Amino acid sequence: MPDLLARLRAGETLVADGAMGSMVMARGLEPGACPEALNLSRPELLEEIARLYVEAGADLVQTNSFGGSPAKLQRYGLEPRCEEVNRAAAAAARRAAKERALVYGSCGPCGRLLKPVGDAEPDEVRDGYLRQMRALVAEGVDALCVETMTDLAEATLAIEAAREAAAEAGREVPVLATMTFDRTRRGYFTIMGVDIAAAAAGLARAGADVIGSNCGNGSDNMVEIAREFRDRSSLPLLIQPNAGLPRLEGGKAVYAESPEYMAERAQKLLVLGVAIVGGCCGTTPEHTRALRRLVSSSGAGQAG
C-alpha cells in the first residue's frame, strides 16, 4: 500500500476512523478507569474496534493511545509500562488493519500545564512524548497524530518528539497535528487562547506534515474552522468533528449528529480540499461508512 503522504500528494482524499472512547465505553470500560489499560488486559477489544472501522471503509485507523503519555499513565500507576501500553495499542490496530488501512498513533495532551502557567517542565513533557512515540513507531505505525491539543507549546513539544522518533526509525512516519477550538464572539479559539492563524503557523513550524482540527462542537463549526485553516496554510488538512455537542440522557452522553447529517456537512469539507475527513467523540462506524460513501461518490477516494 502506498504510504500516507504519497496518497495525499496524488490527490486522494482519505477517510479516517471515528471515536475510540465511546467504543471502549460501550465494551464495558468503567467510568474513571484507564482506557489504555485495555491494551494490556483486553487487546482483542481494540482489534475489534479497529476492524469495525476498517470494514466501514476507513483508510486510517487510530491506536488506543490517546492517554498513553507517561504523565497520563502515571495517574493509573501504569507509567513504568508506557512502552508496553503503546506497543500493544499499535499491535492491536495493526492486526485489524493488515494491508487494508494505515494505522495512526494517537497522542493526546499529557494532562499537565506547562511552566510558567503550570508546573510541568517542557523537557520532561517532551521526553515523555518521546517514550510514547518511540514505542508506537517501533510497533510499525504508519503515522503519528498529535491531537485534541489546546496549548501550542505542548503541541510543539509533542510534534518535535514525533519527528525525533520518526527520524530514529529511519523510515517515513508522517506527523499529523490537530487542535480543538471553541466558537467565541471573536472567532475560534482553543481554551488556552490559540486562534487558527497561530495554530496553522505554529503546527507547521513545529514540523507537522498534516494539520487541522478535531473534537469541538460539531460539523457546522468545523466547516468554518477548516475554511480558516485553508486560508492560512497550504499543508494537507485533517478534520475530525464530534457528532455535535453531547447532552446527558439517563447518565449517558448522547450525540445529536447522525451519520447522514455529518456526511452532508462533510461535502463542504471536500469542496474546501480537506485531505483527510474523519470523526471524533460520538461518531461510530456508521458515521465512517457515510463519510466513505461521500468520498467515494465524489471521486476523490482511492480508485476501486
CB of 47 to Zn ion, least distance (A): 22
Residues that bind Zn ion (CB under 5 A): 215, 242, 280-281
CB of 180 to Zn ion, least distance (A): 7
| Prior bond of 35 cis (ω within 30°) | no
* Minimum distance of Zn ion from residue 286's CB (angstroms): 17
| Residue 153 or 281 having the CB closest to Zn ion | 281
Q: Which is nearer to Zn ion, 156 or 283 (CB)?
A: 283
Comparing C-alpha atoms, which of 139, 73, 143, 160 is closest to residue 101? Answer: 143
What's 120's DSSP letter? Answer: B
> Which 3 state secondary structure label does DSSP give 207?
coil
> Distance (Å, rounded) from C-alpha 23 to C-alpha 51?
12
Q: Least Å distance between CB 182 and Zn ion?
A: 13
Burial 42-66 (b: 16+ CB within 10 A, else e): bbebbbebbbbbbebbbbbbbbbbb
Nearer to Zn ion among residue 7 and residue 65 (C-beta) = 65
Give the nearest distance from C-beta 72 to Zn ion in angstroms.
16
Judged by CB, which is closer to Zn ion: 194, or 215?
A: 215
Distance CA 46, CA 42 (A): 7
Decide whether 221 or 300 has the Cβ nearer to Zn ion: 221
